[in-house]
A and B are shown apart, each in its own frame.
Chain A
Amino acid sequence: ETGVTQTPRHLVMGMTNKKSLKCEQHLGHNAMYWYKQSAKKPLELMFVYSLEERVENNSVPSRFSPECPNSSHLFLHLHTLQPEDSALYLCASSQDLAVNYGYTFGSGTRLTVV
């Protein structure tokens, strides 16, 4: 394990379902991120949290709702998704809110919307 744990690893959901992705880190990092990874495209930053406060919401549709209850946990709540939302969703953490600290990524949740 990399230090960042994501569950579930795979998720299939219908367009009317509600589900949540979970991310957990025990590295003592202060910043956490949600990324969307689609095939042959650059990683897309979705949300950024620093010390449990949302710093960035990168024009993400409201059907994605993040939650950061404490500095070790990050959730992504999903509802009424579209098939084009199918992708690998990656959680990452970093020591602090600057890229030169380096990101530690989880292994991702492979989401399929049917």
Chain B
Amino acid sequence: GENVEQHPSTLSVQEGDSAVIKCTYSDSASNYFPWYKQELGKGPQLIIDIRSNVGEKKDQRIAVTLNKTAKHFSLHITETQPEDSAVYFCAASLNSNYQLIWGAGTKLIIKP
């Protein structure tokens, strides 16, 4: 079955610098790749997603890139701010499916 690996498990960056979180997936049929952000004491929240027919998608300071050949996708956060501190989860699925396969999460720490 599908498997999603996420790295690193913890990432600490200086405020204002960029952060990159990487995920790899095993099922080449997967075509939908969301990213969720979980702040302390809250449930995960969808922040951006990408479908396999595009290679990159941007929304203000966040962007996601997809390399279908290598079966990996990445979350990029530029000009990091304290409110970016959270746990970030990647996931993969078929967009017609109801079950996401999740990564184990990356704890992002923004140092002042």
A-to-B contact residues, CB < 8 Å = 2, 4, 31, 40-43, 45, 48, 50, 55-56, 90, 92, 97-100, 102-103, 105-108
Contact = CB atoms under 8 A, between A and B. Distances in A.
A40 B49 contact: no
B22 to A, nearest CB: 16
Interface of B: 4, 9, 32, 34, 36, 41-46, 49, 51, 89, 91, 93-105
Given A2-B43, A90-B43, A99 B98 contact: yes
Contacts, number: 68
A107 B91 CA distance: 19
A108 to B, nearest CB: 6
B46 A99 contact: no
Top 9 closest pairs, chain A to chain B, by CB:
A105-B43, A42-B102, A100-B95, A102-B46, A43-B102, A97-B98, A99-B93, A99-B100, A107-B42
A103 B32 CA distance: 13
Contacts of B42: 2, 105, 107-108
A40 B104 contact: yes
Contacts of B97: 98-99
A18 to B, nearest CB: 25
Contacts of A105: 42-45
Contact of A43 (B49, B89, B93): B89
Given A41-B104, A42-B102, A98 B95 contact: yes
A112 to B, nearest CB: 16
A99 B34 contact: yes
B104 A2 contact: no
B45 A107 contact: no
Contact of B34 (A41, A42, A102): A102
